[in-house]
Amino acid sequence: MKAITKKRTKAFLIDLAVSTAVTAGVEYVLRKKVKNEAVHALVTPMVVMWSLEYAQLRQNGQTIGYKKMGLALENEDGSKLSTDQILKRMAYRDTVSTFDYLKNRKAFEKQHGEILPHDRFADTVVKEL
């Protein structure tokens, strides 16, 4: 595994920890209003994680984990990330990208880990700062 890919993995784990903490607070409030366990187990964690990631990437191109690991998500042409790019990247990463990895592990990383399949799909690049 390349060094930048290791940093990306650590950044994702940091973001997951932050998201889990926020999800616990949201669930505490929602448990009184929503009685369906499937909502608490499946929907709430995904919505919280995507909302936090979207807001952070839209604001400054970094999540908390990316900032801590010295990474930034950029558009391939250097312009500001669009809403469509962020949403496409998150959706692809959480669905199809897993199958890409299982299908061809050796070709998963491109350009020393700066571009993974979900980055290629959304025309984004992760750079070290």
Query: What gap in Å lies between CA 48 and CA 53, rounded to an integer?
Result: 8
Per-residue DSSP letters for 34-84?
---HHIIIIIHHHHHHHHHHHHHHHHHS--HHHHHHTEEEEETTSSPPPHH
Query: What gap in Å lies between CA 36 and CA 21, rounded to an integer?
Result: 20
Q: 3-62: per-residue pLDDT in tens?
A: 888 999 999 999 999 999 999 999 999 988 988 888 888 899 999 999 999 999 999 999
pLDDT band for position 90 (50/70/90)? very high
- When computed from its CA atoms, the radius of gyration of the chain, rounded to whole angstroms, is 16
Cut 0.75: pTM above it = yes
Give the whole-number percent of the chain exceeding pLDDT 70. Answer: 98
Residue 88 token pair: 């496409």
Residue 87 token pair: 């949403």
Beta bridge partners of 73: 126
